[in-house]
Structure 1
């Protein structure tokens, strides 16, 4: 995960980009990647939970949380891609603060899910005797959570203020 200075540097660089470039980055770098990685992680979590069901550190319930996260993120990303982003690309509209408020509320829920994942997995630290699949699951989940944090930051702190502050 990026440190505070790296996040600030990324924010400063993103603030200089046109809206079109930011939206394109969100869709290609984050939405497409989440759609590809989450189903694989959910399947891997189900495998680890099944194979290691008797292990005291098994991340019991992780597959279900990842499946729910996939459904929630898919709904969220579809709303952005079909409704919010096209309006932003046209320069915004009166009342755009309402849909942005909904997206921010979704982001808060995603952050709660991230906390739940970290709790279930003991901070994404595999036990010493974890197999390769278990280690891949935690490494992949850590990458997903880092990407999701960057994604949320880019929208909340760079993209959305352009339209909230203009109204």
Structure 2
């Protein structure tokens, strides 16, 4: 059995997955194809499908016009090792999109991303609950995640 995430794009699917795969190391577009038959979304050739991977996660995508917009109930989390990685992804994915609290952003296609620091979840689950609270409170005040500020909060 294999589990794969599926993303429905209204338009510009190839531009979106091209950007995503260029930003995440170990990513690739495996194939893109047009459906050769008429569908409820349009005539033959108007609906496009793709298979791609982001790091070690597999995805399929469809470009088939408006149906349901992306929302917060699905997001892609990227846990970054360095502030430079956070800054790079934040700038590229946020370009034309909107930024939100706690490291969340929506890209120009409306897909939600959480650009986070590797280890943040572990800090917020730390057995030292005072330390965890300081880190959590610091993270809640951030828009883009700031690793140095989280580390300072952890130290007290």
TM-score range, shorter chain: under 0.3
Q: Could you tell me the TM-score, scaled by structure 1's length?
A: 0.26
The structure in which a higher percent of residues are strand is: 2
The higher-RCO structure (CA 8 Å, 6+ apart) is 1
Q: Could you tell me the TM-score, scaled by structure 2's length?
A: 0.28
The structure in which a higher percent of residues are helix is: 1
